[in-house]
Structure 1
Amino acid sequence: MADKKRTELDWEDVRVFLALARYGSLSAAARVLSVNHATVARRVRSLERSLGERLVERRIDGYVLTPAGTRLLGPAKEMETAAANLSRGGGDDRPVGLVRVNAPPSLSQHFLASRLAGLCGKYPGIDINLATDFRAVSLERHEADIALRFGRPRDGDVLAKRLRSIEFGFYANAEYRRRLNAGADPTFVGFDEANAHLPEALWLAEHFAHRRISFRTNSQSSQSAAARAGAGIALLPHFIGKMDDRLVICELDLEPPTRELWLIIRRQDRESLHIKTVAEHIASIFAKEPGFFDKKR
């Protein structure tokens, strides 16, 4: 910045900067903080004046961090954790702080949310924000503290733990399976065009290229509902398909794919007690309920 004069650092400026770094736009950060977008812009400019460096750059699709902004992320997150500890009177012997978890939508809705929420009662100092998204969120930008992803990450300074294999099956209602067993050609339920890049969608397109997809939607929960209504066969994780008594397994010539689920945290957070506590709890609930994910009912 042209003006390198430093002023006193304001924690509220840092808090707003973190929100803009995580969400990438003034409007999104403003919604999270319950302020207007002008306040977000003003606070970030104030922090830049305090530090004497430009922290963000505006692009067509939102705001991105400068090298200085990227360097500030780690210390800013430590300040956030320290502020949470002070406000609640937390000590080193108990976990305190907000933990942001990102996981695939179907996994969160059908398995993780109910089992993770109980941790907040066990540890009153821990708050959990569970976000569901198909896109791979950035741990480096501190959009999440813990991410559950299909497939091991290939880059980034992260620690990755394999949780388990997620098995898939072909599911339809009983009447549709009777028609299929009688010789009818299979018709499928699949992802919409916006999600055609997902591995399950690509696998269906490769192995059943000439088969009709009668119903398309953006979630596996909706695909399950469409299959239940008789629209066709849905390729679903067993933890969705077998939980619905109105769906049955359909045997086709090909064996459905299997995907590996990994838990990922930033290496620098491996000793952060609140993040470590949530990560260990997530790993334990997957280890305790292996039958939830296989083909057997």
Structure 2
Amino acid sequence: MFDWQDLYVFSVLARTQSLSAAARELQVEHATVGRRLDALEKALGLRLVDRLPRSRPLTEDGRALSRILEAMPGIASEVQQLSRVASIDVAGTVKVSAPPSLAIHTLAPRMAELRRQHPRLNVELLPSLSLAALDKGEADIALRTVRPEEDALVRRKVGVVRFALYASAAFAEQPAEQWTFIGYDASRDHLPQQAWLHQIRRHRPVVFAASDLMSQQMAARSGLGAVVLPTTVGDGDPALRRLTVDSEGPARDLWLTVYPDLRRSPSVKAVMDFLVECVHSEPRLRT
């Protein structure tokens, strides 16, 4: 395979009809033009110029190649124009992974604002407790409550997710020793909020478990039991009341993560700025 730079050097030589003129335009030494020409001829298996004492006229193959390359300056100009447009245009689709509670209650309600600012920008929001594999393209940007350890990632702490215990107003009137609880299944026992639930419930039973927070919240609204929720969710639900317990709920740092190459994309940068603004606009998420 030939080197595209060698091809470009030949196109300049063919146009200027002079080794010295080509060298001046390219701002390189004569010898560099000669080496590039030799490398291209070797790669193509063609003799492109006749090496005369004072000139380098094109051979028949050289002239044929020169005609093919006449469009090269135009192509280069189009590529540069594309680069300039891409560097300022905010468009396309950006995938964002975030914890479900954050995605549903903090990000999704404000997506219309982002759309008004950037009508050609689309966001694919991926609510998940699992960590999206950014290196596999599962998401472009991730908001995580676990500090990213991958050295290649750019990470920034943007907020704190706090948790508290909630229940319906009727349930809250019961004596504390009669409380029942709602939580995740055993596979989520490693989560700080789930560990705190087990700590404060002591001997009292978990009567309902669900893998998603919204199901837990709906069960708590029905009066089934007390549930641990992010304060952004629980405090905003008029059907629930925060319960007083003998220890403070956990707080988990919120990290914004992205790969450096993607960070330079205007579209990704616009979404990152928007995500930070969403977090900072929510008082319960501020550090």
Shorter chain as denominator, the TM-score bin is 0.5 to 0.7
2:272 counterpart residue number: 279
Structural mapping, 1:231-270, within 5 Å = 231-270=224-263
1:202 counterpart residue number: 195
Measured in 2, the distance between the counterparts of 1:186 and 1:254 equals 16
Measured in 2, the distance between the counterparts of 1:94 and 1:279 equals 15
Moved more, 160-169 or 196-205: 196-205
Q: What whole-Å deviation, never above 9, does each CA across 1:24-55 have from its counterpart, x for those lacking one? A: xxxxxxxxxxxxxxxxxxxxxxxxxxxxxxxx
Measured in 2, the distance between the counterparts of 1:268 and 1:168 equals 34
SS across alignment from 1:92: helix
Structural mapping, 1:1-297, within 5 Å = 91-180=86-175, 183-291=176-284, 293=285
Q: Is the 2:106–2:278 contact (alpha carbons within 8 Å) kept by the matching residues of 1?
A: no
Q: Is the 1:221–1:240 contact (alpha carbons within 8 Å) kept by the matching residues of 2?
A: no
Shift of 1:90: 5.1
Q: Is the 2:161–2:253 contact (alpha carbons within 8 Å) kept by the matching residues of 1?
A: yes
Measured in 2, the distance between the counterparts of 1:156 and 1:137 equals 16
How many percent of aligned residue pairs carry the same amino acid? 33
SS across alignment from 1:154: coil
Q: Is the 2:92–2:121 contact (alpha carbons within 8 Å) kept by the matching residues of 1?
A: yes
Q: Is the 1:116–1:282 contact (alpha carbons within 8 Å) kept by the matching residues of 2?
A: no
1:49 counterpart residue number: none
Shift of 1:118: 2.8
SS across alignment from 1:259: strand
Q: Is the 1:140–1:156 contact (alpha carbons within 8 Å) kept by the matching residues of 2?
A: no
Q: Is the 2:98–2:144 contact (alpha carbons within 8 Å) kept by the matching residues of 1?
A: yes
Moved more, 94-103 or 109-118: 109-118
Shift of 1:114: 1.8
Q: Is the 1:166–1:258 contact (alpha carbons within 8 Å) kept by the matching residues of 2?
A: yes
Q: Is the 1:90–1:96 contact (alpha carbons within 8 Å) kept by the matching residues of 2?
A: no
Q: Is the 1:168–1:237 contact (alpha carbons within 8 Å) kept by the matching residues of 2?
A: yes
Q: Is the 2:158–2:254 contact (alpha carbons within 8 Å) kept by the matching residues of 1?
A: yes
Measured in 1, the distance between the counterparts of 2:164 and 2:198 equals 16
Moved more, 208-217 or 246-255: 208-217
How many residue pairs get matched?
Answer: 207
Amino acid in the other structure paired with 2:125: L
Q: Is the 2:177–2:204 contact (alpha carbons within 8 Å) kept by the matching residues of 1?
A: no
Measured in 2, the distance between the counterparts of 1:91 and 1:269 equals 13
Scaled by the length of structure 2, the TM-score of the pair is 0.66
Shift of 1:185: 3.1
Q: Is the 2:106–2:279 contact (alpha carbons within 8 Å) kept by the matching residues of 1?
A: no
Measured in 2, the distance between the counterparts of 1:120 and 1:149 equals 23
Measured in 2, the distance between the counterparts of 1:251 and 1:94 equals 50
Structure 1 residue runs without a partner (length 5+): 6-84
SS across alignment from 1:172: strand
Amino acid in the other structure paired with 2:172: R
SS across alignment from 1:254: coil
SS across alignment from 1:134: coil
Q: Is the 2:200–2:245 contact (alpha carbons within 8 Å) kept by the matching residues of 1?
A: no
Shift of 1:200: 1.8
Amino acid in the other structure paired with 1:268: D
Amino acid in the other structure paired with 1:228: R
Structure 2 residue runs without a partner (length 5+): 2-80
Amino acid in the other structure paired with 2:207: S
Q: Is the 1:106–1:219 contact (alpha carbons within 8 Å) kept by the matching residues of 2?
A: no
